[in-house]
Chain A
Amino acid sequence: MEATAYAYLAAGFGAGLVILGAAFGIGKLASSAMEASGRQPEVAGAVRTSMIIAAALIEGATFFALAICILLALK
């Protein structure tokens, strides 16, 4: 395989790994949030707010990794 092909392969694998990590993180976050609001429905609003913030932060880190994958696929 030539070098460009390796780069495309790496970008594809990278995107897959990024999704694995992000899905695991957000899944764990959501499950804990559900559990928390199930136990204490009265704080469900506060739990949802902090869940969205944490999800957004995970997503932000994910996008940094995705940007690297995109750069790999482009250069």
Chain B
Amino acid sequence: MTDSLTPPDSLQTSLADTTVVAARHGGEFDFNHLLEHLYDSRTLEFPGGHWDIPAFPPVQIGGLTIDLSITKHVFFLLLAAVLLTAAAVTASRRIRKNAVPTGFANLVEVFVVFIRDEIVLTTMGPAGLKYTPFILTTFLYILIMNLLGLVPFGASATGNISVTAGLALVAFVMIQVAAIRAQGLSHYLAHFTGGVAWWLWPIMIPIEILGIFTKAFALCMRLFANMSGGHIVILALLGFIFLAKSIYFAPIPVIFVVAINLLEVLVAFIQAYVFAMLTALFMGLGIPQGEEEHGH
């Protein structure tokens, strides 16, 4: 039990430690390799074996040593990008061939129309239609990454905070770009004063600047916490089997895990939707809508 009181390096090692401690109460089973699918690693697993991804030597950029090797999460990140590109190219070719889409192209069209009508038009209005491709890419990319985590031997890249931070960074840039393009730079900068008297500016400007960063930070944390949270719940439920040390107890957690997995499919869609929706919403805040006076 004393092991659990030493402060571990990161969240993931800590989770591993606590679970290992918990597992030790039940027996000698080493829990680490169940939890391993949460971490980023240099090994790809597939049915019947595993493959160690060749690592590049770290790259030196201006005094910084950056390891650009491909890891498990990077692999699934790239896989999602390849799948998305292939799906989009196939669907658009088929739609170009005949205007009435069937089968797969029809499925893709459902998503496209949904994003355009339900997300872009409701949050940004007709002025935001030019951002539809960006929102659509965000949605489908996150969705595919989320769903890859539910495939056996897969990993969800969105369960890595660096990936979600990158996605949030792109969203952050796009939110500012949309606001600047719609209002002009001077009007955009004037917004940081919040329209209050000049002697309140020292308070108002930091708050407004903090505000634009908080939005992106919340996007990043939300996606990461939701995706890794689901995996942790599944592993914790599976851990009960090893706590009970009985094969007759096993079906109960397994039933729960199946139910949680189904819930995870729902969460994968909802989180992709929420990320795209909130990005569109924050972009829409910077785009003046019709005649109404644009406050905040």
Contact = CB atoms under 8 A, between A and B. Distances in A.
A75 interface: yes
Given A74-B7, A74-B8, A49 B221 contact: no
Give the interface residue-count category, chain B: 10 to 19
Given A60-B222, A63-B218, A66-B225, A49 B122 contact: yes
A63 B270 contact: no
Contacts of A56: 222, 274, 277-278
A52 to B, nearest CB: 6
A69 B118 CA distance: 36
Contacts of B8: 74
SS of A interface (majority): helix
A53 B278 contact: yes
A57 B43 CA distance: 36
A74 B14 contact: yes
B110 interface: no
SS of B interface (majority): helix
A49 B218 CA distance: 19
A74 B118 contact: no
A73 B118 contact: no
A45 B14 CA distance: 42
A67 B221 contact: yes
Contacts of A66: 225
A32 interface: no
Contacts of A46: 122
B222 A52 contact: no
B177 to A, nearest CB: 22
Interface in A44-75: 45-46, 49, 52-53, 56-57, 59-60, 63-64, 66-67, 70, 73-75
Contacts of B278: 53, 56
A45 B273 CA distance: 15
A63 B222 contact: yes
B173 interface: no
A60 B168 CA distance: 14
A52 B218 contact: no
Contacts of B21: none
B222 A49 contact: no
B277 A53 contact: yes
B5 interface: yes
Nearest to B118: A49
Contacts of B273: 52
Interface in B190-239: 218, 221-222, 225
Interface in A10-39: none
28 contacts: A4-B5, A4-B7, A5-B5, A45-B118, A46-B122, A49-B118, A49-B277, A52-B273, A52-B274, A53-B274, A53-B277, A53-B281, A56-B274, A56-B277, A57-B218, A59-B222, A60-B221, A63-B221, A63-B222, A63-B225, A64-B221, A66-B225, A67-B221, A74-B7, A74-B8, A74-B10, A74-B14, A75-B7
Interface of B: 5, 7-8, 10-11, 14, 118, 122, 218, 221-222, 225, 270, 273-274, 277-278, 281
Given A45-B118, A53-B277, 6 more contacts: A49-B277, A53-B281, A56-B277, A63-B225, A74-B8, A75-B7
Interface of A: 4-5, 45-46, 49, 52-53, 56-57, 59-60, 63-64, 66-67, 70, 73-75
List the 3 closest pairs (A to B, CB-CB), nearest first: A60-B218, A56-B274, A63-B221
